[in-house]
Amino acid sequence: MALKGRNLLSNLFASSRSKLTCTYKCGNGCFGDCENTSGNTYFGDLMSRRAALRAGGLTVVTVGGGAALAACSSEGSDNAAGSSSSAGSSQKTSEVKTEHVSNEGMQFKPVEPNTKDEVVIPEGYEQAVLIAWGDPVIEGAPEFDPENQKPEDAEKQFGFNNDFAGLLEHPDDENRMVYVCSHEYTTEPQMFPDYDAENPTEDQVKIGWAGHGLTVLEVSKVEGSGELKREFGPLNRRLTATSDFKLVGPAAGTDLVKTEKDKKGELVKGTLNNCSGGVTPWGTILSGEENFDQYFGNAKVDDKKAQKSLERFGFKDEPSARKWEKFDDRFDVSKTPNEPNRFGWLVELDPFDPESTPVKHTANGRFKHEAGNVHVLDDNTVVCYSGDDSRFEYLYKFVSSKKYKEGDKKHNMTILDNGTLYVATFEGNSKDDEIDGSGALPEDGAFDGKGKWVKLLTSNTDENKFESHVDGMSAEEVAVFTREAADKVKATMLDRPEDVEVSPTNNKVYIALTNNKYRGAAEGENGRLEDVKEYAPIKENKNGLVMEMDDDHAGEEFTWNLMLVCGDPKEASTYFGGFDKEKVSPISCPDNLAFDNHGLLWVSTDGNALDSNDGLYAVTTEGDNRGELKCFLTVPAGAETCGPIVDDDRVMVNVQHPGETDEATYENQTSHWPEGGDSIPRPACVVVWKKDGKIGIEG
Ligand code: FEO
Ligand code: CA
Ligand code: CA
């Protein structure tokens, strides 16, 4: 049961993310050498330092986001938004004492920061678990018995660590809906009694494969409340690390993706590390394959260029943490060198056709896709935004050449195969020496500027024509080695771009930038790649940012500003869209985003660095209350808040990795949520509703 090797590293992490989470969620991508070693960034840094020297002032970094922040215990706090005590705050806003009315949708009493082993919700609300790891999804599957797990059962039960959540209308039954979620990763030491990380059994490995992927589940509405109940039904489906997925687009059928077992390079077994995603207007689910490198061992190949490409994604020449390569050669890169190229894609699943084979849209590029979120323009052009969630990685968008046709799903499911992939470059509009790393606003009063989208690849999959826009790379190389293509065009390095959502009310694009402890870190520090910039102005950014972008969606230009500089609002480094900081909740490490019917932005967090559990927060983006932010719920100790869905009737969150603390094992659990007592923790989906009335409306 002991964890060995690279699992047992000292805690080098800025956020509260545990060692166990780091190992099993992202393959320890959170520390050590950065995957991005492209030269452009050093060049940029050099230029900005020269400019600063020419301007006669060395940048002096004060304190800022790197300072240890006070614990979030709010005992005695009577702040409107549950912020920790504001005593000592130097904010000029303290004279504002008038009664404040929050916008519709966020008229709830905020949840205080806490470390409870439960889901904490506002007064007047109720909650229930919809489904948890191991619950039957396919009729005939046994009830969960953690002491007696079997691969053939796990393939029919709810997978582990549900992340993205989508909720769709049921096609045939108005009393039902369809819940779809991704299962990002498995945490074997917590899942199995007596787990030996060096020598997992074949059954444990196969249960791990079954614990990944996606679930489609019919749910029934409960009359008079927002509650949903799990049901069996013909749409229920599990997709796992061994299900069939079709490769489509510029990489499909090329030598880069062919293997002994798939000589045509068209059919992949499985999907891996499905993080967040999106629901398309045509009723399908998009899912991002994120930290796929961690599943592969022995990443050593003869070809130097191929080796460099493996390293750009973080592959290592060592056994993988889960040792899957012992049971299937496709996870041994030295034996199956092209298998890694078959992961890292944007997946599309039709949840209403249980017989359908989901596709991997290679025209959208291969990187650590956090998600894919589409926006349909007035002329029916489709834009799909996607972040590459690693430190100092890039933001991408895909602009379709095909138009959305209402009611024509077959056509619409080919839209993401035809169009142009872009990567973003950002610049600030304030002087470099005004960005000092502390979070102090520059003279113009905003972290803001403009940017350009740079073309990488144009795909016409219908006619099998593909065009690279990157010198020295073919179209299929741009598709498969997208990070390297983006390096070449000098894309802008961001602080972990995660979820991207377009507001349905103002059409602006919102981007969660989770954190980056190496942003502006001391020169020479392992992991530092770039100094602070106006788009990433916090030195050793621990608490993250939320960017607002006014994008010419189908075009190549945009403007941007940082709407939120996250943290404890009593810290001078924070910024909440200009709103009174005494009236907002502390927030740390924004990750997933969603909009509700009121146009409010909802932000869930991953890795709270303020000594509180992660949570879900509502934010006003427009009007007098712009920047008002309240915590709606928090998840149990060690968990991450994922997949938020907010409508008038309910809030749904996926509670991922409860109790995943540093040394947690099956025998030594630090959470017993949701069943309590001595039970083992189980990742689950929670539904919250208001006892009387609509979500976030008073009365
Ligand atoms: Fe899977 Fe980027 O969080
Ligand atoms: Ca500015
Ligand atoms: Ca995420």
Which residues crowd ion ligand 3, with CB under 5 Å?
275, 591
More confident residue, 10 or 327: 327
The DSSP symbol for 110 reads P
Q: Which pLDDT score is estimated for 34?
A: 73
Confidence of residue 399 (pLDDT cuts 50, 70, 90): very high
Ligand 1 within 6 A of CB of 614:
no
Identify the weakest region by mean pLDDT among 52-61, 80-89, 450-459, 578-587: 52-61
Q: Which bound ligand lies closest to the C-alpha atom of 184?
A: 1
Say yes or no to pLDDT of 47 above 90: no
Q: Which pLDDT score is estimated for 77?
A: 34
The arithmetic mean of pLDDT across residues 519-527, rounded, is 89
Q: Which bound ligand lies closest to the C-alpha atom of 496?
A: 1
Q: Which bound ligand lies closest to the C-alpha atom of 427?
A: 2
Report CA(572)–ligand 2 centroid distance (Å): 17
Q: Which pLDDT score is estimated for 98?
A: 61
Say yes or no to pLDDT of 79 above 50: no
Identify the weakest region by mean pLDDT among 82-91, 324-333, 641-650: 82-91
- Percent with pLDDT over 90 in the chain: 84
Confidence of residue 29 (pLDDT cuts 50, 70, 90): confident
638-671 per-position pLDDT tens digit: 999 999 999 999 999 999 999 999 889 999 999 9
| Two structure tokens written together for 490 | 């000098």
Q: Which pLDDT score is estimated for 69?
A: 27
Which is nearest to 183 in space by CA: 646, 686, 657, 680? 657
Say yes or no to pLDDT of 97 above 90: no
Pairing of strands 359-361, 381-387: unpaired
Identify the weakest region by mean pLDDT among 56-70, 235-249, 550-564: 56-70
Q: Which pLDDT score is estimated for 86?
A: 33
Report CA(437)–ligand 1 centroid distance (Å): 25
**Three-state DSSP class for residue 556:** coil
| Contact (Cβ atoms closer than 8 angstroms) between residue 393 and residue 483 | yes
| Contact (Cβ atoms closer than 8 angstroms) between residue 621 and residue 629 | no
563-593 per-position pLDDT tens digit: 999 999 999 999 999 999 999 999 999 999 9
Report CA(498)–ligand 3 centroid distance (Å): 6
| Two structure tokens written together for 297 | 């061992």
Report CA(593)–ligand 1 centroid distance (Å): 12
Question: Atom of ligand 1 at shortest distance to CA of 514?
Answer: 2
Q: 209's torsion region: left (phi>0), alpha (psi -120 to 50) or beta? A: alpha
Q: Which pLDDT score is estimated for 629?
A: 98
Residue 652 to residues 154, 590, 647, Cα–Cα distance (Å): 24, 17, 9
Say yes or no to pLDDT of 694 above 70: yes
Q: How far is CA 596 from the centre of its chain?
A: 19
Question: Atom of ligand 1 at shortest distance to CA of 370?
Answer: 2
Question: Atom of ligand 1 at shortest distance to CA of 389?
Answer: 2
Report CA(124)–ligand 1 centroid distance (Å): 32
Ligand 1 within 6 A of CB of 290:
yes
Q: Which pLDDT score is estimated for 523?
A: 85
Q: Which pLDDT score is estimated for 99?
A: 79
**Three-state DSSP class for residue 151:** helix
Ligand 1 within 6 A of CB of 275:
yes
Q: Which pLDDT score is estimated for 38?
A: 77
Report CA(547)–ligand 2 centroid distance (Å): 13
Confidence of residue 39 (pLDDT cuts 50, 70, 90): low
Max CA separation in the chain (angstroms): 74
Ligand 1 within 6 A of CB of 155:
no
**Three-state DSSP class for residue 640:** strand
Say yes or no to pLDDT of 490 above 90: yes
Confidence of residue 524 (pLDDT cuts 50, 70, 90): confident
Say yes or no to pLDDT of 263 above 50: yes
The arithmetic mean of pLDDT across residues 481-489, rounded, is 98
| Contact (Cβ atoms closer than 8 angstroms) between residue 375 and residue 434 | no
Q: Which pLDDT score is estimated for 7?
A: 32
The arithmetic mean of pLDDT across residues 220-235, rounded, is 97
The arithmetic mean of pLDDT across residues 308-327, rounded, is 97
Cα 410 from Cα 202, distance rounded (Å)? 39
Question: Atom of ligand 1 at shortest distance to CA of 276?
Answer: 1
Q: Which bound ligand lies closest to the C-alpha atom of 614?
A: 3
Q: How far is CA 663 from the centre of its chain?
A: 24
- Mean pLDDT (the chain) is 90
Say yes or no to pLDDT of 15 above 90: no
What is the Cβ-side half-sphere exposure of residue 7, based on CA atoms within 13 angstroms?
A: 23
Question: Atom of ligand 1 at shortest distance to CA of 25?
Answer: 1
Q: Look up the pTM and report it.
A: 0.90
Ligand 1 within 6 A of CB of 370:
yes
Cα 463 from Cα 468, distance rounded (Å)? 16
Q: Which pLDDT score is estimated for 469?
A: 98
363-397 per-position pLDDT tens digit: 999 999 999 999 999 999 999 999 999 999 999 99
Nearest residue (CA) to ligand 1, atom 1: 275
Ligand 1 within 6 A of CB of 184:
yes
Report CA(370)–ligand 1 centroid distance (Å): 6
Report CA(283)–ligand 1 centroid distance (Å): 23
Q: Which pLDDT score is estimated for 1?
A: 32
Confidence of residue 31 (pLDDT cuts 50, 70, 90): low
What single string gives the DSSP state of each residue in 28-88?
A: TTTSSS-S---HHHHHHHHHHHHHHHHTT-PPPP-SGGGSPPPP---TT---TT--S--TT
List b or e across 634-645, with b for residues whose CB sees 16 or more CB atoms inside 10 angstroms. Answer: bbbbbbbbbbbb
Q: Which bound ligand lies closest to the C-alpha atom of 27?
A: 1
Report CA(446)–ligand 3 centroid distance (Å): 27
The arithmetic mean of pLDDT across residues 533-539, rounded, is 98
The arithmetic mean of pLDDT across residues 3-19, rounded, is 50
Say yes or no to pLDDT of 76 above 50: no
Q: Which bound ligand lies closest to the C-alpha atom of 275?
A: 1
Report CA(370)–ligand 3 centroid distance (Å): 6
Cα 515 from Cα 500, distance rounded (Å)? 15
Confidence of residue 318 (pLDDT cuts 50, 70, 90): very high
**170-178, long-range: CB within 8 Å, 24+ apart, which pairs?**
170/218, 170/235, 171/352, 175/220, 175/221, 176/218, 176/219, 176/220, 176/221, 176/231, 176/233, 177/218, 177/219, 177/221, 177/228, 178/216, 178/217, 178/218, 178/219, 178/235, 178/351, 178/352
Cα 580 from Cα 98, distance rounded (Å)? 12
